[in-house]
């Protein structure tokens, strides 16, 4: 029964790894989509910055146009003096004031233009940075996507290996024990077996197992289940017994001991 239990433990491990690897494979497309998120965010930012940069560029052009128009208006005003359109001193004073106001307005437009020129430069820089960030995100995404899609092959190989291992174990496990395992596997979400800790508690439900059952599980002569969670129990309290691989002579001694029992 000890061997049967060991095969069951190995089967559960294979089944759990199968489920985990299958889940990892299933999740690859959504992981690719998740890896695409930073790229999409960078593209959205780039588009926003680019649009803002274009708007500022248009504002600057409009301001330059307004400045040219103002220059024209001033020279038109100044022309009036040379054309002799101004007759009296009063008219002349009014004319000078008009020019002064027009020049003041030109000054304001020039000031605004300087601000806009700075803004255009800043936006251009920002747009270039956003574009570089997109390129970087594109490169990173391509790498991540390739790595994720490349892992499919390795996962397929792993899954095939685990399925082979599973088949080999199935052939060596008692059918009725296998049925119990399969039933528990469904109801316990893959964990049909549970180890007993050094302190004598079930590692799945954490409850204390009766000392008598613990002793039985250690002997492993018959299948024992947890009183609380009904999982098949195995002794996991003393790893020293499990870790070292028995050498040939020891195995022979063990087998001899088993037959005498
Ligand atoms: Zn339990």
* Mean pLDDT within 82-97: 89
For residue 250, with 0-12 CB atoms within 10 Å meaning exposed, 13-18 middle and 19 or more buried, which class applies? exposed
Per-residue pLDDT tens over the stretch 206-222: 999 999 999 999 998 99
- Dist. CA 178 → ligand 1 center (Å): 19
Domain membership of residue 196 as a residue range: 175-260
Asked whether residue 11 is domain-assigned, the answer is no
Torsion of CA 253, 166, 176, 196, to 10 degrees: 60
Name the token pair of 189: 């979400």
Query: Cα(225) to centroid of ligand 1, in Å?
Result: 8
Task: Give pLDDT tens digits for 222-243.
Answer: 999 999 999 999 999 775 444 4
Domain's final residue, options 170, 191, 217:
170
- Centroid of ligand 1 to alpha carbon of 245 (angstroms): 28
pTM (predicted TM-score): 0.64
Q: How many residues does the chain have?
A: 261
Cα(235) to ligand 1 centroid in Å equals: 13
Same domain for 61 and 162? yes
Say how many Å lie between the CA of residue 53 and the centre of ligand 1. Answer: 66
- Residue 252's pLDDT is 45
Does residue 12 belong to any structural domain of this protein?
no
Residues 95 and 55 in one domain: yes
Burial classification of residue 220, based on how many CB atoms lie within 10 Å of its CB (0-12 exposed, 13-18 middle, 19 or more buried): middle
163-195 per-position pLDDT tens digit? 999 999 999 999 999 999 999 999 999 999 999
Non-local (6+) Cβ contacts of 99 within 8 A are 74, 77, 78
Same structural domain, 208 and 83: no
Say how many Å lie between the CA of residue 89 and the centre of ligand 1: 111
């Amino acid at each position: 029964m000890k061997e049967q239990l060991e095969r069951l433990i190995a089967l559960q491990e294979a089944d759990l790894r199968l489920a985990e690897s299958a889940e990892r494979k299933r999740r690859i497309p959504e992981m690719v989509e998740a890896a695409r998120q930073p790229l999409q965010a960078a593209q959205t930012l780039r588009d926003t910055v680019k649009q803002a940069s274009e708007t500022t560029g248009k504002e600057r052009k409009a301001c330059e146009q307004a400045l040219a128009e103002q220059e024209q208006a001033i020279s038109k005003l100044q022309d009036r003096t040379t054309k002799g359109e101004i007759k009296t001193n009063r008219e002349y004073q009014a004319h000078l004031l008009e020019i002064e106001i027009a020049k003041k307005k030109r000054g304001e437009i020039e000031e605004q233009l300087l601000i806009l020129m700075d803004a255009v430069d800043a936006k251009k820089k920002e747009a270039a940075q956003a574009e570089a960030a997109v390129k970087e995100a594109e490169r990173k995404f391509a790498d991540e996507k390739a790595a994720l899609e490349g892992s499919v092959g390795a996962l397929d190989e792993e899954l095939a290996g685990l399925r082979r291992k599973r088949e080999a174990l199935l052939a060596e496990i008692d059918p009725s024990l296998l049925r119990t395992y399969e039933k528990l596997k469904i109801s316990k979400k893959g964990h049909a077996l549970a180890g007993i800790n050094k302190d004598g508690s079930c590692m799945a439900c954490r409850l204390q197992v009766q000392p008598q059952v613990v002793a039985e599980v250690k002997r492993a002569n018959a299948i024992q289940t947890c009183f609380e969670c009904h999982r098949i129990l195995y002794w996991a309290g003393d790893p020293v017994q499990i870790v070292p691989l028995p050498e040939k002579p020891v195995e022979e001694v063990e087998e001899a001991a088993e037959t005498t029992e």
